[in-house]
Amino acid sequence: MSVAARTVFLFDVDNTLLDNDRFQDDLRQELTRAHGPGACDRYWAIFEALRAELGYADYLGALERLRIERLHDPTLLPTANWLIDYPFADLLYPDALRVVQHVRQWGLPVILSDGDAVFQPRKIARSGLWDAFSGNVLIYVHKENELADVERWHPAAHYALIDDKSRILAAVKAIWGDRVTTVFPKQGHYAIQEPPRDGRSVDLAIERIGGLLGRDLSKLTS
């Protein structure tokens, strides 16, 4: 548990700090190349069904279920290694790591992500983000429902939430109110498909994560 900070900066990962859309495109290409378009389509159908069931993206779980359906296809096994060894550091957005260092002037940067308990930590570690955040990583199923636990691990007078999903920003704003500054980087498919409908849930919109560089964030977190 952290000593109370002036401000805790809560960063989402996928399409906030790294280009997860590009990862999914690469995975589609790899599945098609290695197993054919039919297996690729089946993988993503399983993936979406699992996400509806579990509430988060489960890339390895979808591969496990596909393997059960194709139990005598050993070519699926190298795909697991492809997933686990994927070079996520190549997907970091320009200036993402510099932004993490930039906000340290005013408080503590913490990863606040949704995801599974195996692949999401691996992604964060492989990208270099685990070290960049000094191990301050929280991963939940539905993070907007876990704010009390966030406060327990990282108490602060004020929070700043940087997330590409407008529904997450709105949900957290509804709970924390003026205790949180919400930042909306307009990156990735969620930001394009679901722009904020209520301007009150977003305190600052930026075109990309690097847009935080050079800003005096004390004005946002006071």
137-140 and 156-162 strand pairing: unpaired
CB atoms within 10 A of CB 90: 13
Q: What pLDDT does 121 receive?
A: 97
- The token duo for 184 is 């909306």
Q: What pLDDT does 3 receive?
A: 52
Domains and CATH numbers, the chain: 5-18+93-221 (3.40.50.1000), 21-88 (1.10.286.50)
Q: What is the pTM of this model?
A: 0.93
Across the chain, which has 222 residues, the per-10-residue mean pLDDT values are: 74 97 97 96 98 95 96 92 97 97 95 96 98 98 96 95 94 94 88 69 91 84 56
